[in-house]
Structure 1
Amino acid sequence: MTKVPPSVPGVVELPVAGAPADVRVVLARVAPLAGWAESVRDCLDDDERARAAAFRHETDRRRYVVAHCVLRHVLAARTGAAPASLRLGPPVPARGPRPKPRLEDHALRFSLSHSGDLVLVATAEREVGVDVEHLQDPVAAEQVLPVLHPAEIAAVQVLPAADRPAAVTTVWARKESLLKAMGSGLFRDPSVDEVGAGPVPGRPVAGWWILDLDLPPAPGPAREESRAALTVRVPSDPI
């Protein structure tokens, strides 16, 4: 019998209201898991270790190692396999330079995203995409704005200047989650799909459902702001 590995310490499963029952999203934080990840990093495959070693900055290397160790343990918990035995590939035939990876020998699908101290892993028995974005500063938000859908640009431009960074970050998280779920990444023009800049995500592509994710506040005095979104494959939109 395959032994299911223990859960990752400190990982929180996020509620995803309205999502299909097979969808799971977990959140982890890099800082408290750095030591744990180093203790279990033997679960990474040769490609992951090579990519981790290629980072120039220790902060980026640590985030990558934590994220991929968390990913492997989450997948192991859902499949019953050992984390090191999972084969994350080969990718789906690419539409663009960032092909979507697969879990070999299992129907479970997954998506990984990390930003700052946050790591999100989504798993489902269907195509899924998740994205988390640290709140953009005003300059970055204005630089991103022109590449959005015209309706999104118009919606953001009527907002007070102080509210624009949060709106742009929300749009970008929704858009990235959709493109990741579809397997196209940014090879698909981000101005094509209107994911919406308002409180409710749009449904610009038939068969794909975008959901905003509520992130718990950071522990301690830190008050980092981030936005996150999930996209799932839904053959017919729920009522």
Structure 2
Amino acid sequence: MIDVLAASVDDVHALADRLAHVERGAAGARALVDAGDLAAADAKVRPEDARRTLAGRAALRLLLAARAGRPLSSAAGVAIDRACSRCGAQHGQPSVAGLSVSTSTSGDHVLIAVGEREAVVGVDVEVVPDELWAGFDDYVLHPHERGGLPAGDAGISPRIRIWAEKEAVLKAAGLGLRDAPARLRISDVEVPGGWPTGAGVLDPGAWRPVAATEVREAAGTWVTAIEVAADAWGVLAAAAPQPIRRWTIGDLVDARPSAA
């Protein structure tokens, strides 16, 4: 099972401020992250980018703490390694011992996934823009996808969906955008999950496999949509279809154990 948290940047900061008040602190989200997270946020030039980065870093820690049954106030102590696979500096994808984790932020949205190591997860959330940059189709779309999408404004949202799907796959593969998304294609055929939803906690999802790829590490990966908001696409990628446990900010609070 994969745990997924979809939240707004504002809601993450609101929860952090609430925790700071309960703990008689004043640092908000800054008290829920470590020095590396603070450095990453403080390196952003625009205040809104720093705020979004801090929310994404804090949200991952909060989900990990809640999933493990730890107090949310202990989130800063969760061990997360971000060593870059190429240079070793702490600016790479997050890694947690025994788990597979992935994070993404865009606009006011935060999307987090945590699964067992063999789940090999990747997530991406993308706000739909008013226009696309020149060369988008050549960089993102597989040759078999070009020409099959609407032109003009009507084609922006479906293209962003494809972008989000492929970036999630490439993050699951541990590559990020070091490989061009156009080198892979995802099937249009959905495979419904076969798991019960229980009391609404588990989502069986509707998964689609990578149908063709020149990226060896992406072969065999599957994707499913994650509902985020009307203005954005959210996607989860994993090594195989499996049930999803979705979390909200409220769920994190409800799962919080006593600090005693």
TM-score normalized by the length of structure 2: 0.69
CA-to-aligned-CA distance 1:78-123 (integer Å, 9 cap, x gap): 12453122121153734999743211xx312211011101101111
The number of residue pairs the alignment matches comes to 202
For the Cα contact (< 8 Å) 1:134–1:227, is it kept in 2?
yes
Letter in 1 for 2:219: A
Q: Which residue of 2 aligns with 1:23?
A: 2
Q: After TM superposition, list the pairs within 5 Å mapping 1:79-118 onto structure 2.
A: 79-81=68-70, 82-91=74-83, 93-94=85-86, 99-103=92-96, 106-118=97-109
Of 203, 206, 216, which residue of structure 1 is paired with 2:210?
Answer: 203
Higher RCO (C-alpha 8 Å, min separation 6): 2
Matches of 2:80 and 2:167 in 1, distance apart?
Answer: 21
CA-to-aligned-CA distance 1:37-89 (integer Å, 9 cap, x gap): 35242221111111111111111111111121111010111124531221211
Matches of 1:96 and 1:177 in 2, distance apart?
Answer: 22
Q: Which ranges in structure 2 are unaligned for 5 or more consecutive residues?
A: 17-26, 191-207, 212-217, 243-260
More strand by share: 2
Give the secondary structure class of the aligned counterpart of 2:186.
Answer: coil
Q: Which ranges in structure 1 are unaligned for 5 or more consecutive residues?
A: 1-21, 218-224
Give the secondary structure class of the aligned counterpart of 2:224.
Answer: strand
RMSD: 2.6
For the Cα contact (< 8 Å) 1:116–1:134, is it kept in 2?
yes
Of 137, 156, 161, which residue of structure 1 is paired with 2:152?
Answer: 161
Q: After TM superposition, list the pairs within 5 Å mapping 1:14-163 onto structure 2.
A: 22-37=1-16, 38-81=27-70, 82-91=74-83, 93-94=85-86, 99-103=92-96, 106-125=97-116, 126-140=119-133, 143-147=135-139, 148-156=141-149, 159-163=150-154
Letter in 2 for 1:191: A
The list of structure 1 runs, each at least 4 consecutive aligned residues, that deviate by more than 3 angstroms after superposition, is 35-38, 90-99, 198-202
TM-score normalized by the length of structure 1: 0.75
